[in-house]
Amino acid sequence: MMIRALALGLLLSGPALAADPQLSCAGKSGGHLGPDPVCARLMALLAGQDIAARVEITRDEPLILAARMTLSRGPRAMQGPVVQVTSTDRPLDARAADRLARGLLAATPMP
């Protein structure tokens, strides 16, 4: 019984788990890929971080996918540049969403 009480005490006093990120996505509906694939990938990449992200898809065409992201933590916010993924010979597919999400994280400073 004492071991259970000690284990429960350690669990309750251990470090808190990080909260999931808050993510809002904006973009024109009816674009080539739409904002959902990029935002789903960003949600997965930011999992476990206590941060808010706002993504604005600025171009969503068959050969160009571009967006800008703002990251916020408490009162601090950092906006990154517009990042784009392009193709010269065939329409972009779901892999472009992953490349754009990774590019946005690399280009946007953490607050």
Q: How many domains does the chain have?
A: 1
Model confidence, pTM: 0.80
Cβ contacts of residue 16 below 8 Å, gap of 6+? none
Q: Which domain holds residue 87?
A: 18-107
Question: Is residue 69 within 8 Å of residue 80, measured between CB atoms?
Answer: yes
Q: Is residue 10 part of a domain?
A: no
Alpha-carbon span 53 to 71, nearest angstrom: 5
The pLDDT profile of the chain, 111 residues, written as one tens digit per residue, is: 444 444 444 444 444 455 789 999 998 777 899 899 999 999 999 999 999 999 999 999 999 999 999 999 999 999 999 999 999 999 999 899 999 999 999 999 999
Q: DSSP code of 74?
A: T
The CATH number of the domain holding residue 64 is 3.30.160
Q: Is residue 1 part of a domain?
A: no
Q: Is residue 3 part of a domain?
A: no
Q: Is residue 13 part of a domain?
A: no
Q: Is residue 95 part of a domain?
A: yes
Q: Is residue 5 part of a domain?
A: no
